[in-house]
Chains A and B, each alone.
Chain A
Amino acid sequence: KQEVTQIPAALSVPEGENLVLNCSFTDSAIYNLQWFRQDPGKGLTSLLLIQSSQREQTSGRLNASLDKSSGRSTLYIAASQPGDSATYLCAVGTGANNLFFGTGTRLTVIP
Chain B
Amino acid sequence: DTAVSQTPKYLVTQMGNDKSIKCEQNLGHDTMYWYKQDSKKFLKIMFSYNNKELIINETVPNRFSPKSPDKAHLNLHINSLELGDSAVYFCASSNVGQSLFLSSYEQYFGPGTRLTVT
Contact = CB atoms under 8 A, between A and B. Distances in A.
Interface of A: 31-32, 34, 36, 42-46, 49, 51-52, 87, 89, 91, 93, 95-101, 103-104
Contact of A44 (B31, B40, B90, B105): B90
B15 interface: no
Contact of B104 (A31, A36, A89): A31
B101 A96 contact: yes
Q: How large is the interface on B (under 10, 10 to 19, 20 to 34, 35 or more residues)?
A: 20 to 34
A45 B2 CA distance: 13
Contacts, number: 65
Given A96-B55, A97-B94, A98-B56, A89 B100 contact: no
Nearest to B102: A31
22 contacts: A31-B103, A34-B107, A42-B112, A43-B109, A43-B111, A43-B112, A44-B90, A46-B107, A46-B108, A49-B104, A51-B104, A87-B41, A91-B107, A96-B96, A97-B100, A97-B103, A97-B107, A98-B48, A99-B107, A100-B45, A101-B42, A103-B40
A89 B56 contact: no
Interface in B61-118: 90, 92, 94, 96, 100-101, 103-112
B101 A104 contact: no
A15 to B, nearest CB: 25
A96 B51 CA distance: 13
Contact of B100 (A42, A46, A96): A96
Contacts of A103: 40-42
Contact of A49 (B43, B56, B106, B109): B106
